Amino acid sequence: MLVEEVMTTDLVTCDAGASVRDASERMLRNRVGSVVVTNEGSPAGIATESDVLYAGYVTDDSLSQIPLRKAMSSPLVTVQPTKTLRVATDRMRTEEVKKLVVVDGMTPVGILTTGDIVNNYSAIRREVRDLAAEADGWSSRNRSIDE
């Protein structure tokens, strides 16, 4: 199964010059756990709920006083839409992230989250089962040829 089959295409963005409060407002309004932070329209990082909590805790400042560029995670960890979910989940594990921004070249086209993977678990299992049955069919045919 490919990333593009399960990713979320509605990206919520926020300019790097905004405050952490602005990013929090966008997350709450859109009911998402992160915003892609942009700098002059290009993706520069990501701000997650955890980043917001951490920034508020360590600075002990009002969220409106904390610059988003100081709280965001960067560099941005990305994946291409044509990559397999296996490649994507391996990347999540090695980079220790729960979200990958999906990019086509340098253009963000979506986001893949652990929630997207969990929500598509049945379809993923069905594909694995179908692939295993297909592989078993091929090995049965090869045994017939060898005999």
Percent of the chain whose pLDDT exceeds 70: 90
- The pTM (predicted TM-score) of the whole model is 0.79
Is residue 129 scored above 90 in pLDDT?
A: no
Per-residue pLDDT averaged across 91-109, rounded?
93
Per-residue pLDDT averaged across 99-120, rounded?
91
H helices of 37-95, in order, are 49-59, 68-71, 85-95
Residue where the block lists tokens 């379809």: 123
Class of domain 3-146: alpha beta
pLDDT band at residue 48, thresholds of 50, 70 and 90?
very high
- Domain coordinates in residue numbering, the chain: 3-146
Higher pLDDT, 146 or 66: 66
Q: In DSSP terms, which residues pair with 45 in a beta bridge?
A: 37
Average pLDDT over the chain, rounded to an integer: 88
pLDDT band at residue 142, thresholds of 50, 70 and 90?
low
- Residues whose CB falls within 8 Å of the CB of residue 3, separated by 6 or more in sequence, listed in order: 79, 80, 81, 82, 83, 84, 85, 87, 88, 100, 102, 112
Higher pLDDT, 140 or 121: 121
pLDDT band at residue 128, thresholds of 50, 70 and 90?
confident
Per-residue pLDDT averaged across 48-76, rounded?
94
Give me 38's structure tokens. Answer: 């942009």
Higher pLDDT, 42 or 64: 64
Is residue 92 scored above 90 in pLDDT?
A: yes
pLDDT at residue 121, as a whole number? 76
CA triple 69-90-118, angle to 5 deg: 85
pLDDT at residue 46, as a whole number? 96
